[in-house]
Amino acid sequence: MRKIIPFVCAIVMALSSCSGDLEPGQVKVTGGVIQGTVTENMAVYKGIPFAASPVGELRWKAPQPVIPWEGVKDATEFGPSPIQPMQMPGLTTSEDSLYLNVWTPAKAKTDKLPVMVWIYGGGFSMGSSSEFDGAPLAEKGVVLVTINYRVGQMGFFVHPELSAENPEGVSGNYGILDQIAALEWIQNNISEFGGDPSKVTIFGESAGGISVSMLCASPLAKGLFRGAISESGGSFGPSRVNNYPGENMKLLEDAEKVGSDLADKLGANSIAELRSMPPESLSQGMVITGGPWPVIDGYVIPDDQFRMYESGNFNDINVLIGYNSDEGASFGSSTDSKVYTKDIEERFGPYADALMKAYPVGSPKVVKTGRDLVRDAAFGWHTWAWARLQAEKGRSKVYLYYFDQHPEYPEDSPMYGHGSPHGQEVDYVFKRLKSESVPTDYQLSETIATYWTNFVKFGDPNGQNNDGLPVWPEFTKDDHVTMVLTGDKPYSSAVPSEDAMWVLDSYFAWRRTTEGDSWARNR
C-alpha cells in the first residue's frame, strides 16, 4: 500500500482512502470495492451495479440483491443501457443494465451533502443514464446520481402467468421496482460518497417525471426520499384500455390480456419460452401510447393516483413540478384543423365541444391554443391536479413552474406562434446548451440549476439567502401561482389556461364514473 500524504488525501476525496485500507478513489459499497475517477474537485463513479443482472430466470422478476465480486471493480465507464427498440448512436445495450453512476464533490464521508437522483424519460420504451453528465449540478454542492431502469417489454411486460408466479399476484412495473431498488441502494451506500441518505431528492422528465409521480404515490417508496422534482410528468389520469397521452394507465387485468396477445403473436406457449427468447425479439417499436407502460397493479401502484391523492394516500413530501408551454407541438397531432377536430371528438366524446371552446383550435391550421389541449391533457392538467391535490390534502410545500423559453418566430416561419416543446428544459437543467444558444439561455440555465439545487438542499427553490433570484412563491390551495421560467428574469404568474383546465378536469372526473369508463371501453 503506497503512502498517502494528508494534502493528497484531502484533495482526492478522502471518502474512504484516509482509513488506510483503500486506495484513493476507492469506495466500498454493497457487493465489494469500486475504483472511480478522481480529480481535484470531483470524484466520479460509473457503472455501479445496484441489483443482480435481470437475465435468464430473473427476466420479469423484481430486482434481486447485487452479487458480490472479487477484487476491485472498475467504475470509470458507464454500464450497458437497457434493451430498447430504437438503438441510439453510441449506446451499448444489454439486458444486464441495472447500474447507476455517482458524481460527488464531497471531500470526506462526513460532509453529508444532499443527494439528487435523476430518472430519465423516453416513454418507458427508451432511455439511458449514460446520456447525462452529472458534474454541472454536482458542482453546486450536491451528490448527483443517475440510474438505469428496465424499459419496454423488459421493464413493463404483463402476463397472467407472470402474475401467477409472483407472491403478490402481479406482473409488470419491473422498471419502477428497479427505481425503488436503486433508491434503496442509495440509502445503504450514499454516505460512502459523502452524501446524506436523509436528504435525497428524486427528479426526472417525461416518463422520468411520471415515474417521480408514481414513486410519490407508491407505498413501496415511502421514506426513500424527502423531495421530488417532476418535469413534464404526473400520472393522474384514469385507466383506459385504448390509451391516449394522459390516459396511459391500464388495470392489471387489461394489461394481462395485451401480454397474452403478444405471447400468442410470438408463438410462445409459456413464460419459460418467452424467457428463452433473445430480448431484442421481444422489443416493440417505441410507442408513446399503447406500448409498454406501468400498470395499476394494486401493489407497486395501488390505485388510480388521482383517487389516492384525494384520499390523502400518498408520500407527503415537498415537490417542485411543472411543464413546458408548447408540449402539444411534440406529439404528432395533425396541424390540419379538420383532422385535429375529428381526433378531439374521437378522444373526448361528449366533452369535445366544450373543450374545443375552452381551447380554440383555429382554422385552417391548428393554432397554439388548440395544441394547448394536447399539452394539458398529457402534462399540464396532471401537474396542476397534482399541485392542487397536494396543496389541499398534504402538509408539504408545492412549487409549480411553467417553462417558456423560445425565440419569437416571424410570421412567415413554420414555427410562428410556437412555444417551448417537450423536453426542451432538460438541457437547461443539466447546463448543456447548444451552440446556437443566446445569453438569456445561459442565464436561465444557471437560474434553473440554482433553483433545483436550492430545492434539494433546503426544500425550497429560493434557498436560504435567495441567491439574488426572483422569489418563487408556493402554490397553495388558496393561491394557484406558477413560476414562469423564461428569459433572464423569471416571474410569478397565474396558472396559464387554468379556466380551460377546469373544463378538462370535468372530463377526467366524468371518465372516472361508471358511465365514462364504459364509454371509453367501448371506443
Look up residue 520 and give its three cell numbers. 371509453
| Catalytic annotation present for 425 | no
Give the Cα separation of 343 and 157 in Å (integer): 29
Task: Give the CB-side neighbour count of residue 452, counting CA atoms within 13 A.
Answer: 33
Whether the bond between 364 and the residue before it is cis, its omega within 30 degrees of 0, is yes
Taking residue 367's Cβ as centre, other Cβ atoms within 10 Å add up to 16
| Catalytic annotation present for 345 | no
32-35 and 318-324 beta bridge pairing? unpaired
Report yes or no: 41 and 105 within 8 Å, Cβ to Cβ: yes
Catalytic hit among 327, 330, 418, 420: 327
Report yes or no: 449 and 443 within 8 Å, Cβ to Cβ: no
Angle at 256 between CA 250 and CA 257, to 5 degrees: 95
Q: How far apart are the first and last CA of the chain?
A: 70
User: Nearest CA to 135 among 424, 449, 426, 430?
Assistant: 430
- Mapped onto helix, strand or coil, the DSSP state of residue 295 is strand
Q: Which pairs with CB-CB distance under 8 Å and at least 24 residues apart come from 16-22?
A: 16/109, 16/192, 18/108
Catalytic hit among 159, 382, 418, 422: 422
Report yes or no: 195 and 143 within 8 Å, Cβ to Cβ: yes
| Catalytic annotation present for 206 | yes
Catalytic hit among 206, 211, 283, 420: 206
Q: Residues 6 or more apart from 339 whose CB is under 8 A from it?
A: none
Q: Which pairs with CB-CB distance under 8 Å and at least 24 residues apart come from 345-353?
A: 346/523, 347/244, 347/377, 348/507, 349/519, 349/523, 350/510, 350/519, 351/503, 351/506, 351/507, 351/510
Q: Which residues are catalytic?
A: 206, 327, 422
